[in-house]
Structure 1
Amino acid sequence: MRVSHYLEFEERVTGGIKESVVHQRKMLDREGIEYTTGPTLDADVLHCNLMGPRSVWYAKRARDRGVPVVAHTHVTAEDFGDSFRFTNALAKPLRPYLGRAYGLADALVCPSEYNRGVIEGYADAPTTVISNGVDRGKLAGFESLKDEYRERYDLSPPTVFLVGHVIKRKGLETFVDLARELPDVDFAWFGPLDLSLKGRETTRLVEESPDNCTFTGFVDDVRGAFAAGDVFLFPTHEENEGIALLEAMTAGKAVVVRDIETFSWLDDGEDCLKVDPADAGEETAAFADAIRRLGDPALRERLGSTAAARSEAFSLDALAERYRSLYDGLI
């Protein structure tokens, strides 16, 4: 079996999509599946991770030649908005484009049940859910970096943190408002911060954030983020899955999430705390109450331990065989 495992714009794509592709290739390696990272029709399966124009071109020709096409549904119009500059304007025309592009696939891979529900409104192609997974080896030894990263960013426990690109959709306004509401708690957002790519509102929120709210920018070792942080706050408004969330759970961190459909698989009070997205006037208070509750070390320990156990089902070892089954079925 030979797979053309292609990520269009690979040299430019960052964040969750790039991380998912890294995970997929590690899983293919685990299964001993031969693959090329360039697009080619000289393969048993063409697997496209981002349906840009070149991927669409290859997908059309693969179908003409009888080569099965797999498309990953990382991108939806729903999660495209409030990300980078101009993405809101592009979200509306993106939907019909993606409908046509995803419709070229013989199989669509969705990272979550929520994402599958969204995608079923785009195209009639068969869907299968395979989590983006979590690379447990990537976090190995993270605890040893705790003192270094806390000292580097002047953070005192219990630190509330988030990992990933700083974008409005992920709950930036809530994150900043909470730091203002809880001045005695340190908040740290670890991840790329290029304000030239952000909209005016994102820039304003970052520049006007209080002193106890730190935006670190890119960190050279992401393990340091999970070492320095104690409570993983994920107030995202729209998410296909959330690799950073799975990583925080794997690291045994207490998690607070917005109660949206994406996270329906999480159990409130067992492996996380969920905050109902109430009206804007009550939202900050509700999140602040959850964070105050997690000032209790025993509660943090209990939620983190349960989360770590729950995350084992998302390890690359647990998921890898699903790709072989998918490809075998198509061939």
Structure 2
Amino acid sequence: MKVSHYFELEEHVTGGIAASVDHQRKMFDLAGIEYTTEPTLDADVLHLNLMGPRSVWYARRARRAGVPVVAHTHVTAEDFGDSFRFTNALARPLKPYLRRAYRLADRLICPSEYNRDLIEGYADVPTTVVSNGVDREKLDGFESLEAEYRERYDLDPPTVFMVGHVIKRKGLETFVETAHRMPDVDFAWFGHVDRSLKGRETKRLIDEAPSNCTFTGFVDDIRGAYAAGDVFCFPTHEENEGIALLEAMAAGKPLVVRDIETFSWLADGEECLKVGDERDGADAASAADAPGDNVSGFVEAIDELRDADRRAELGTTAAERSEAFALDAIADRYRSLYAELA
């Protein structure tokens, strides 16, 4: 069996989609699946990772030639908004485009149950949920970098941290405001800043962040983030799955997440601490909380994790849960899926 595994704009797209594609190809190697990264109909299956115009063109050709088409649903209009400049304006026309594009597939691969629920509103096409997975080997030896990265960014434990592109959708406002409320705690966001791609509000939040909130920009060794960070704070408003979250779990870091449907599979109080958006009592009277945003809840959760034993308890449970997302635990799902279609 041979798979044409095409990632349109591969040389330009970074972040979670790029990481997912890298994970898929590592899983192919683990499962012994032959593949080419070129778009070609000289294959048993055409697997498309980003449904741009070229991918759509190949999908139409493949259908005419009788080659099964698989499309990954990394992109949704819901996930696209509040990301970079102009993405909010593009999110509305994106949905009808994606509906047409995803309908060209014989099977859609969704990274989570939440993503599958969204995609059911896009196309009447059979779906299969396959996690993006976590590359545990990528994290090997991360502990050895702790002193170096704490010194580099002047971070004292317990450091609250995030990993990924600095974009508003991922809860930037909440992250910064929580840092304002906790001046004695260091906060660090590891990942691309890309100011030229940011909207005015995003740049304002970065510029007005308190001195205890560091934006590191790109880091040459992502293991350093998981070495220097103690509490992974992920206040994202919308996420298809969250590879950085899976990495933090694999590194044994306790999680503080927004209580959204994407994370319904995580047990609150056992595998993470969840913060709801609803406000009551004193929270409702707080003008510093944005509408529907419970900053006080994040402060309370992080306060709970000042205790090293509690951090270790949650981190250990998270690490155990992450084992099911290891690449070698998922790889055979692709072999089964392709065999079913070819």
Other-structure match for 2:317: 306
Aligned with 1:295 (options 275, 283, 306) = 306
- State how far apart, in whole Å, the 2-side matches of 1:14 and 1:38 are: 19
Shift of 1:237: 0.1
Other-structure match for 1:159: 159
- State how far apart, in whole Å, the 2-side matches of 1:277 and 1:123 are: 30
Equivalent AA in structure 1 for residue 257 of structure 2: V
Structure 1 residue runs of 5 or longer lacking an equivalent are none
Shift of 1:277: 1.3
- State how far apart, in whole Å, the 2-side matches of 1:68 and 1:214 are: 47
- State how far apart, in whole Å, the 2-side matches of 1:319 and 1:259 are: 26
> Where do 1:131-210 residues align within 5 Å?
131-210=131-210
Shift of 1:284: 1.1
% identical aligned pairs: 76
> Where do 1:1-331 residues align within 5 Å?
1-279=1-279, 280=289, 283-331=294-342
Shift of 1:118: 0.1
Shift of 1:286: 0.8
- State how far apart, in whole Å, the 1-side matches of 2:128 and 2:256 are: 28
Q: Any idea what SS the aligned residue of 2:294 has? A: helix
Q: Give the alignment's TM-score, normalised by structure 2.
A: 0.96
- State how far apart, in whole Å, the 2-side matches of 1:118 and 1:277 are: 21
Other-structure match for 2:285: none
| 1:186-208: CA deviation from partner (whole Å, max 9, x where unpaired) | 00000001111010000000011
How many residues align? The count is 331
- State how far apart, in whole Å, the 2-side matches of 1:57 and 1:231 are: 45
Q: Any idea what SS the aligned residue of 1:174 has? A: helix
| 1:228-254: CA deviation from partner (whole Å, max 9, x where unpaired) | 000000000000000000000000001
- State how far apart, in whole Å, the 2-side matches of 1:97 and 1:194 are: 27
- State how far apart, in whole Å, the 1-side matches of 2:168 and 2:253 are: 23
Shift of 1:278: 1.9
Equivalent AA in structure 2 for residue 266 of structure 1: L
- State how far apart, in whole Å, the 2-side matches of 1:201 and 1:55 are: 33
Equivalent AA in structure 2 for residue 316 of structure 1: L
- State how far apart, in whole Å, the 2-side matches of 1:182 and 1:16 are: 29
Q: Any idea what SS the aligned residue of 1:214 has? A: strand
Equivalent AA in structure 1 for residue 311 of structure 2: R
Q: Give the alignment's TM-score, normalised by structure 1.
A: 0.99
- State how far apart, in whole Å, the 1-side matches of 2:209 and 2:47 are: 42
| 1:165-220: CA deviation from partner (whole Å, max 9, x where unpaired) | 00000000000000100000000000001111010000000011000000000000
Shift of 1:163: 0.2
Shift of 1:75: 0.1
| 1:100-154: CA deviation from partner (whole Å, max 9, x where unpaired) | 0000000000000000000000001100000000000000000000000000000
Q: Any idea what SS the aligned residue of 1:157 has? A: coil
| 1:239-276: CA deviation from partner (whole Å, max 9, x where unpaired) | 00000000000000010000000000000000100001
- State how far apart, in whole Å, the 2-side matches of 1:239 and 1:278 are: 19
Equivalent AA in structure 2 for residue 103 of structure 1: R
- State how far apart, in whole Å, the 2-side matches of 1:178 and 1:14 are: 27
- State how far apart, in whole Å, the 1-side matches of 2:22 and 2:58 are: 21
- State how far apart, in whole Å, the 2-side matches of 1:265 and 1:32 are: 30
- State how far apart, in whole Å, the 1-side matches of 2:194 and 2:30 are: 35
- State how far apart, in whole Å, the 1-side matches of 2:196 and 2:3 are: 37
